[in-house]
Amino acid sequence: MSHRVVITGLGSISALGLNTGDFWQAIKNGQSGIDAIQGFEPGTLKMQLGAQVKGYDPSAWFSHKDLPLLDRYSQFALMAAKEAVNDASLDDQSLPLAAAVIGTGCGGKETDEMTYDHLYKQQKSRAHPFTIPRGMPSAAASQVSMQLGITGPVFTVSSACSSANHAIAQAALMIRAGIVDVAIAGGTDAPFTFGLLKSWEALRVVSSDNCRPFSEDRSGLVLGEGAGMVVLESEQHAIDRSARIYAVLAGSGMSSDAGHITDPSAQGAARAMHAALNDAQIDPHDIDYVNAHGTGTQANDRTETEALHLVFRSHATELMVSSTKSMHGHALGASGGLEFIATVLAIKEGVVPPTINFTAPGEGCDLDYVANSAREKTINKALSNSFAFGGLNSVQVISRF
């Protein structure tokens, strides 16, 4: 017997706010979280723009006892997971038996950076004793488990920019299989370290002026940071405890391009969308909205549009398609979580998020990208797309409850 999966809790931290209420308000207003990068010596970076979390003081959220063990990416995961659990009003009986699946593209980069600075720049002979438990890729998942008292399956998923979407898929599969009734899932990343920013500069895919997905003058992505977490439950478990249900996670689809490490494949993306629709047993013509991967790079936006045409054919021109990365930036392993939340709230509230900074459609970008302003419209079924470097694709189908 397969158990239907519903969404009962949302939690986030991003450049658009320290919680989901602020995040959603900014999305509806078409408000940008992109600004001049802070925290680095002037002249050391070519990259000028980033979507950094603002107004955040770790000591206001975590004790002095806990902070030495919490990399920035783990802090974000904990904040978002705690908000999602509180939003779902999970009781003390449900939470210990839950699962937690946390995606990350980078892991504890802040810890790595501090260690290299300590050893190579300051010429110290020893690393900090907490370096491994603080910076390991699974640290955020472990911290969520320990601080929330979760004793069920807990693990990390890492698939670059698809990490959160893949994590949500894995959590949903466990619920459907009857392994757990409740799962916390999503993604977290904090990539604003000097070494990582210089590495992104070297890829030459970063915008120097703004993030303009699908526009003819788009010049690349803008990095972001944060976390997006959701509480998933079996429908029966949610009903039994009289939980508020935001929406249904109707289906998941995954694929790999098995092609190029950075150049995306329309066929690979299309296979993931087809798989998600087949899993949900939904006809492509029933989809109203697609939250696109929409990075703002030349290759992604054109290829994703081609993939949408392959999947939806004549219905593609009827779709509303938007990229919320134009507002919260590309938060790497956290992006899929933030975008999943935006899609859930779009369905719940009947508001389609915009693609801001849109000028004119780029070559091969010929769909309705909900340019610059949110749109009030009933959405019954939607897709949330995540496509990663290495051709690792994950897609969710979300439907009205």
Residues recognised as catalytic: 161, 293, 330
Q: Give CB contacts under 8 A, 24+ apart, made by 276-279.
A: 276/251, 276/252, 276/383, 276/395, 276/396, 276/397, 277/251, 277/253, 277/311, 277/397, 278/251, 278/253, 279/250, 279/251, 279/252, 279/253, 279/397
Q: How many whole angstroms separate alpha carbon 249 and alpha carbon 3?
A: 11
60-77: b or e for each residue (b if 16 or more CB lie within 10 Å)?
ebbeeebeebbbbbbbbb
Q: How many whole angstroms separate alpha carbon 227 and alpha carbon 213?
A: 21
- CA 234 to chain CA mean position, Å: 22
Q: How many whole angstroms separate alpha carbon 249 and alpha carbon 20?
A: 19
Six token digits for residue 19: 């919680």
The dihedrals phi and psi of 68, each to the nearest 5 degrees, come to: -60, -20
